[in-house]
Amino acid sequence: MQPRIRRSRGELSIHIGKVFLSIVAGAFFLSVGNFATAAQSNGDQEVRIPLTVSQTKAGTYKANLNIGIGDLKPLSFVLDTGSTGFHVFKAAKLDAAGSGVNCTDQPISFTVGNPGRITYSGVICYAPLHFGSYTSPDPVPIAYLTSAACTPNDPGCKIPNLNDPQAHGGYGVFGAGLTGAMPVQNPILALPAPLSSSYSIQLTPKTGELILGATAPANAAQFRLVPGTKAGVTWTFPQGCLFVNGLLTNACLSISFDTGNGVPWIRTSDSSGIPLQNGDVAPGTSVGYAPQDATAAATSVTAGDARYNRIKVSAPQGAPLSNSSIQAYFNHVFTYDNVNGVISVAPIR
């Protein structure tokens, strides 16, 4: 999921696209039982956190992790590398007595849909986070969202029940991305180094692992993030090129690697090298993602005719951009280097 940030009247506003709206609409089923634990090794050099992967009724995939907030029991959250910040819904009851969470009066709002359909509002809270046996040494900022309203352009929208985690696909979104503005900080970056300096995500269609403090494999392809030019933006999307069925195309563009998006898409001004069928990539076509000047794709997705693998190709809405979706992560290890601005990609060995 890719947020668009807006500030107005001292409030922080975050706009999330259509894919997150499908989560809000309850399309994503989460199991919040059987809480897994995180294994800590090498002192504070590495923390390993189990991930679960599940499919929605529409066939799209999502990855989840369990986190304890303050003194509350662990709850299930969506792992989203397409957004930043820890966004928690009212169902988590962060403001309950004895929660161990410190909620301030600093307002924050969170708008979903493109264009916006529902605006969630709440406040900034702070609490230590528990990843199994590892606890953050300092409180981490959290966007606690406790109310919702339709946006003016969609006055008849359906407001999900903020007290029902299934209405939102869980208790919130763990935004683990590095790109764009961070009005609410990526919670991993609030941890001490080296845990905050580099972390990896390994996924299969059934399971996975988030490893804090991980280093990239020696054979990994390196997608270099572009330094930000706006206040509060450290990194922006890396640049790369598309391969189709193993062959390099002329489509070189920004790439969003996004575990929070279930459906790949491509917005390019040059689709001449991409086989199309009714505006989608022809079923059976492999679309690969590679750093600029690479001779082979680092990872790929295969187009189909189902909702989860139908790859829409359209004209750019601004700069050319492709979202890989969570499927590009499968059977690969993605390592995020916040210090040097690199996303490294290698097959899982």
Span 28-53, pLDDT tens digits: 333 333 333 454 444 458 999 999 99
4-212 maps to CATH 2.40.70.10: yes
Task: Name the residue with higher pLDDT: 27 or 124.
Answer: 124
DSSP symbol at 68? E
Question: In this structure, are residues 141 and 91 in contact, taking their beta carbons and an 8 Å threshold?
Answer: no
Q: For the chain, what are the domain ranges? A: 4-212, 221-347
pLDDT reported for residue 170: 79
Question: In this structure, are residues 63 and 79 in contact, taking their beta carbons and an 8 Å threshold?
Answer: yes
C-alpha distance from residue 205 to each of 55, 241, 244, 277 (Å): 9, 25, 22, 27
Poorest-confidence range of 108-122, 154-168, 179-193, 228-242?
Answer: 108-122
Instruction: Look up the CATH number of domain 221-347.
Output: 2.40.70.10
For residue 80, the Cα-to-chain-centroid distance in whole angstroms is 2
Residue in the block written with tokens 């450290």: 234
Closest CA to 145 of 181, 171, 174, 167: 171
Q: Which residues contact 294 (CB under 8 A, 6 or more apart)?
A: 221, 240, 241
Query: pLDDT confidence of 175, banded at 50, 70, 90?
Result: very high
**What pairing do the DSSP bridges indicate for beta strands 221-224 and 342-347?**
antiparallel
Most confident of 29-38, 106-115, 170-179, 292-301: 292-301
pLDDT of 8 > 50? The answer is no
Domain 4-212 shares a fold with domain 221-347: yes
Backbone torsions φ then ψ of 64, nearest 5 degrees: -135, 155
Question: In this structure, are residues 79 and 51 in contact, taking their beta carbons and an 8 Å threshold?
Answer: yes
Poorest-confidence range of 20-34, 212-226, 286-300?
Answer: 20-34
The pLDDT mean for the chain works out to: 87
Backbone torsions φ then ψ of 163, nearest 5 degrees: -95, 0
Closest CA to 37 of 66, 77, 64, 63: 66
Q: Which residues contact 8 (CB under 8 A, 6 or more apart)?
A: none
- Alpha-carbon gap, residue 76 to 295, rounded angstroms: 40
Query: pLDDT confidence of 14, banded at 50, 70, 90?
Result: very low
- Alpha-carbon gap, residue 79 to 258, rounded angstroms: 9
